[in-house]
Structure 1
């Protein structure tokens, strides 16, 4: 029996007021349930109480405790502050940072009940997911992110002093525009470490001063006769083409970038890589945190550690968070990741403890195993959103949420319902929803495919059109202009599928400095 299993002499708090002693008692009670009953494994927590203005500031700088300066952060702050002050937008109860120690920002305006909720949600739910999920373990280094951000902030500030704010902002603007095309999706670990990054920055600068890239030693000449395909293949292999990580290619290969500009691009690229796992696991991460806080708050209430009034306050907040508006509801904005994630976690618990015949047929490996938290911990560690949905979305849950699949074919005047929540539609709905959470399908497939070294040094890119989804022409031209500015020569993007070419976009560079 756990330490919290018996009813305490008095609740952890009464009323809405709290102080730091209250937070200490609450944290201790939550920790016992999280570790002894749920078996969670977390980074040490660092709890910071902040004001609403500080929360707005954290919103503006992607939630990180320190960041380099950029005009877009101020623009975001003014927008969010205006909406908040007018009552058109609320603020999150907390922000949690994937770091070691894990930093949890909690609002000083929260009631004691909400502080308890967010400590369970962020300090234990998100924290456990950050530490154990393989996507975060592969792509991020929680122990060094704060040091790296400090290095990035000081480096960019030094560049602004030396080269001017406007010159640095031009590079940052261009790199920010390409952030979604600046991540490695299928390669190995790229850890962030301050000491090694500082050393590598000096090594890269010294190397650039000693050597001149042989790729750019020849002066461009008029176009020659077409070369043999073998020579084209050797050139592309030398350049590492095709390459989907556009920022990585520019950092390593762009002929006209100064060493400091390459380092700024590298900073933006590594930060984009740090956030990439969060895009891959939104459903699971929020589902994990919601399930954890629900179980912890329920156990606290069962043990008498929180009052009936506090539990009702919690249920009101929790219900609002996991509510899924219907498709014809004015509040509908797609599938709520909190709602579906939490439902799937509860469904796994039910299948592991009280399965029916359908569950035993479809989930024979976990049905009736009697260890729901072990199954959940394994899922939290080894899946990301699309694989989690493909593996664990049950027919019962499809029926509960009344999921169905629409096919919107641009070549047809009608929208077809291709699958509903019946025996024939389960597999198709699960497959379609799984693909919906595949980030590699959400982002356009744009790759650098060639460089005209002997001609005008134009950079050639291809957008592989999938399912008929094309780029917005205006956005494509603006982003391509940023790419041309960094490359230093002309850039061409061809948008095509296996059958035909849809569009071709060209851009010529403007000077960065």
Structure 2
């Protein structure tokens, strides 16, 4: 489809039409597949208005979602910021599905559309398809079906049970959104119906066998039996369990089946977004490096004009901008910028290594296979391991990274390491730790649930480095948790190193 334009630009000026989009997409995809060895999902481009893009923002970036008041609230907030010029809209939204959906704004110029196609339809799309975290946590060919089911089921529940009843369950589930992750992906969890039936049968048999004479004459055996029954119940419930939403879905005593399905839907969304949380740096770095490489190759071969390339460079510079720590716009390390810098550095190490690179990266230094090395990194790592493996002394120096030790027991901050020979490994280790999923969210487990007695749900928060829960937020979430469980909830904070009890929250106290 592009053979008649190989001797000239793909487009001229800012205007575009669907033929121009198709021609440019085909040329970009050809470079990605034939020259870079990339293999994205088939892509479907959807052109949307700015209001539709705002609506997609509000619905957590999904092409369709179930109705909930929080999405309308988010839409109003984003619209106000956009209309007043406090923030810009993203040029695109891409969905991890097969085929992949790439939403682009109708207000974009053609140079921006080409950038978006290279960034999202190729870069993100290839990463979605090949990264092991995404492959383990999501099934791209079922995403759109799951979204349609979620929307239809919630709307049906609102008609049958009323919007207030549905929103009460969804509000509580959203409060536990970050705790709907099944981190042990290979564990086989018991079927909830089978578990409940097995526990009921065990209790019935115990009642039939425990006659009054036996209990009166041999009480220690009854105690042993109770302890054994409690152990069996813990095993049947799969305790300890870190996936709070899944535990409630399977074992909450008072939930109706439609309420359990609502929890499963929210848990599915939580699982869908987890790989994106674990690979933000790599995903954006891959997409940013891809759009820069492809757009530069298009310019070098005369497929885009210098004016379009200058417009692209302006967009690219905004994407990779890194405000200084004392700038009012600073909000941490820009994943686009750091990811892009690390991808380019890997190419440099593979093609033009220094003695330092050879010492630090003997497996890839000078291998003259930059694309193979990048594709392997994109497929086999997540942010934490990627930084631990590939952050080089050169990038640490270029970014002037250092380690700041914040010990609340010390009277002042301490600089633990700087960008020099003695500090490179400490800086790399400290930065990698910040991307560790175990650090990004608190570790809270269900540790007990007495289904035969008071039915109190017991949870434990394992405190790392003194990072305890905010008391106000903890109490708010516990109210939602109690609403789903149906009975009182007790949350104990314990030091992960010493097992010492630090604080206890009880739902019956507020």
Q: Please report the TM-score for the alignment, with normalisation by the length of structure 2.
A: 0.91
What is the aligned partner in structure 2 of residue 503 from structure 1? 503
Q: Are the structure 2 counterparts of residues 447 and 215 from structure 1 closer, same or farther at C-alpha, using a change threshold of 3 Å?
A: farther
Match of residue 135, structure 2, among 128, 131, 137 = 137
1:491–1:506 CA contact under 8 A, matched in 2: yes
1:254-273 per-residue CA deviation (whole Å, 9 max, x = no partner) reads 11111111111111111211
What is the aligned partner in structure 2 of residue 194 from structure 1? none
Q: Are the structure 2 counterparts of residues 135 and 422 from structure 1 closer, same or farther at C-alpha, using a change threshold of 3 Å?
A: same
1:424-503 matched pairs, under 5 angstroms:
424-497=422-495, 498=498, 500-503=500-503
Report the Cα distance in structure 2 between the residues aligned to 1:230 and 1:325, rounded to whole angstroms. Answer: 59
Q: Please report the TM-score for the alignment, with normalisation by the length of structure 1.
A: 0.91
Q: Is 1:127 matched up with 2:125?
A: yes
1:307-342 per-residue CA deviation (whole Å, 9 max, x = no partner) reads 111111111111111121111222211011001100
Secondary structure, in 3 states, of the residue corresponding to 1:364? coil
1:262-300 per-residue CA deviation (whole Å, 9 max, x = no partner) reads 111111111211111000000000000000000000000
Query: In the comparison of the two structures, how many residue pairs are matched?
Result: 487
2:249–2:264 CA contact under 8 A, matched in 1: yes
* 139-148 or 494-503: bigger deviation: 494-503
Gaps of 5+ in 1: 191-202, 219-223
What is the aligned partner in structure 2 of residue 25 from structure 1? 23
C-alpha displacement of 1:454:
4.2
What is the aligned partner in structure 1 of residue 213 from structure 2? none
1:494–1:501 CA contact under 8 A, matched in 2: yes
Report the Cα distance in structure 2 between the residues aligned to 1:491 and 1:216, rounded to whole angstroms. Answer: 25
1:245–1:447 CA contact under 8 A, matched in 2: yes
Backbone CA RMSD of aligned residues: 2.4
* 231-240 or 159-168: bigger deviation: 231-240
C-alpha displacement of 1:230:
5.4
1:485–1:509 CA contact under 8 A, matched in 2: no
Report the Cα distance in structure 2 between the residues aligned to 1:388 and 1:97, rounded to whole angstroms. Answer: 23
C-alpha displacement of 1:106:
0.3
Report the Cα distance in structure 2 between the residues aligned to 1:260 and 1:185, rounded to whole angstroms. Answer: 25
2:11–2:110 CA contact under 8 A, matched in 1: yes
Report the Cα distance in structure 1 between the residues aligned to 2:82 and 2:20, rounded to whole angstroms. Answer: 28
Q: Are the structure 2 counterparts of residues 509 and 152 from structure 1 closer, same or farther at C-alpha, using a change threshold of 3 Å?
A: farther
Instruction: Specify which structure has the higher proportion of helix.
Output: 2
Q: Is 1:370 matched up with 2:344?
A: no
Match of residue 259, structure 1, among 223, 236, 257 = 257
What is the aligned partner in structure 2 of residue 199 from structure 1? none
Secondary structure, in 3 states, of the residue corresponding to 2:61? coil
What is the aligned partner in structure 2 of residue 193 from structure 1? none
1:99-157 per-residue CA deviation (whole Å, 9 max, x = no partner) reads 01100000011011000000000000000000000011111011111111111111111
Report the Cα distance in structure 2 between the residues aligned to 1:7 and 1:13, rounded to whole angstroms. Answer: 10
What is the aligned partner in structure 2 of residue 395 from structure 1? 393
C-alpha displacement of 1:179:
1.1
What is the aligned partner in structure 1 of residue 319 from structure 2? 321
Report the Cα distance in structure 1 between the residues aligned to 2:198 and 2:184, rounded to whole angstroms. Answer: 30
1:129–1:285 CA contact under 8 A, matched in 2: yes
1:138–1:188 CA contact under 8 A, matched in 2: no
